[in-house]
Structure 1
């Protein structure tokens, strides 16, 4: 989605437990980031569950705010410049 002009936003992303560790999440995330880049966005944002923060950091995202609760789970805003 486009959060604002030049800012892409990735919504909920999930990979079934049975295939976690098989790089599907990384492939999906890279495709979403590339789609934002192709659209001309200069930044991508997402709301990561705190338990998945490391996954997104390894993909080049950085924390951009304090943790907060969403849907009963701790989340954090993360961004990546394109």
Structure 2
């Protein structure tokens, strides 16, 4: 399986303004069929990543879900500001 952290980071970097402050971490989930990814960025960049009415976040989740369908897993992406 491809590195999902790196793939999500490649999708996120062109969107944010401060590319140095963005990080993506994979966390363990209680459900073995779920992959949990956290995107950490500055608050203005998190707002940009979520988008109006969550449209950008939904698009990112849909693109990343394609990569996990091969292994019959779900993906959850959470956005955190610092």
- Normalising by structure 2, what TM-score? 0.36
Higher helix fraction (1 or 2) = 2
